Amino acid sequence: MIGRQFFYKFAATTVAVGILLSAVTDWADAATILKNGSVNGFIRSNSPSLRFRNQSRTGAPLQTALGEDYVFNAQRGDTIQVSVQPEDGSSLSPILVLISSQTGEQVAYEDRGNSLRYQVPATGEYKLLVLGQNNSLGRYTLSVSGISQGTASQSQSTQSSSTQTTDRRRQLLQNEYGLTVLDNCPPARGTLVVVSFPEVDQTYTYCANANRFVRAGEYTYDATSGDLKPGSPVAQTSSQTTDSRRQLLQNEFGLRVLDNCPASRNGLVVVSFPEYGQTYTYCANPNRLVRAGEYTYDISSGDLKPGTPTALNPSSQSTSTTDSRRRTLQNDFGLTVLDSCPASTSSLVVVSYPEGGQTYRYCANPNRVFRAGEYTYNATTRNLEVAKKPQQQQCTIMLAGVCIIR
């Protein structure tokens, strides 16, 4: 088993080449692309763990913290202003870290003022990390300004390969293990490092030139430990490759899930997934993070909460089981959605879902996290973003209390 910490020890001693940083986990999802404006974020207990160095302290070691990462393209001379505003009721104490994607160097750091200012010395892509200081969690609004309008035309060096900026598996091999990844795997692979990434739907294979840390041979990336393990991936059963709940318990919480729950469950982790009309139960061996006992998976926070699930209110199931957008607002954002939007929506949360050439609008009572106003649901980031130009739009069709705008 090849641990990433081995590579980091080497990188930490090579100060001249900069600080090599990247996400410890959650490599499957591409980072959110930033433009001038604001986006909403949420650091939770299952957010990715990201590496950084406290630049305010000379000789400070590499550290990790839970957070979210973003990327943006900037031109030389741009003065980038970044600020983070924790939402009301949030315990988040943010850290802001800026990294040059071209060099891997950490170029800016701020852990006190909730804002960061940076003048770009070279055109290219930059990665922004928003981290929770001292294990703090919560929702926040991230505001960015100063990105010039000409950033759409990137330099050739930043466009050399579209897969390099969007393929997180490739980035992980390059940044975590220092591997030079080939664009394609050749027929003869005897002298190459061949890495398999088994995921829910299929296995992805990458080939790279060997280095002093990773010798030629076949490896499998273990998402639970974050290591490359020698050998090809073990064939999975059909139930294991299609069961997203089982995968979540294995990948997010490092649990070894049993094929079936035994009659006696003492000494086991028993997790219930309540999903609109029925509950799915899984049993697993405990580990250092999850002790034996009964838990319920909370889809809103992404956490395992001690105890058995609370029975769903039958009166609220009819709409939530048929309207996935309404269900998302209720479960993911804690909003109480109204059956229809009234004539005056000034004191409400109004959410627009742009889908397939038309927009669905929902109205809900505000809460501590989402104040009254206009929001747009971003299907890519799965967040509610403050609408740039709030305005009252006329409904073309009213269907089951939902305003549809063509």
Residues 65 and 111 in one domain: yes
- Residue 342: Cβ-neighbour burial (10 angstroms; 0-12, 13-18, 19+): exposed
Residues 257 and 331 in one domain: no
Cα–Cα dist 221/343, whole Å: 54
Domain of 203, in residue numbers: 179-230
Q: Which residue has the higher pLDDT, 28 or 71?
A: 71
Q: How confident is the model at residue 325 (pLDDT cuts 50, 70, 90)?
A: confident
Residues 142 and 185 in one domain: no
Residues 151 and 274 in one domain: no
Residues 127 and 213 in one domain: no
Instruction: List Cα–Cα distances, 56 to 52, 67, 130, 177, in angstroms.
Output: 12, 19, 17, 27
Residues 12 and 133 in one domain: yes
For residue 22, the model assigns a pLDDT of 39
**Structure confidence by residue, pLDDT tens digits, 232-260:** 876 544 444 467 788 889 888 889 999 88
Find the range with the poorest average confidence among 72-81, 144-153, 369-378. Answer: 144-153
In DSSP terms, which residues pair with 141 in a beta bridge?
40, 85
Q: Which amino acid is at 348?
A: L
**Does the model's pTM come out above 0.95?**
no
Instruction: List Cα–Cα distances, 80 to 68, 72, 73, 158, 303, in angstroms.
Output: 18, 10, 11, 19, 35
Residues 70 and 201 in one domain: no
Residues 222 and 291 in one domain: no
* Residue 262, domain member (yes or no): yes
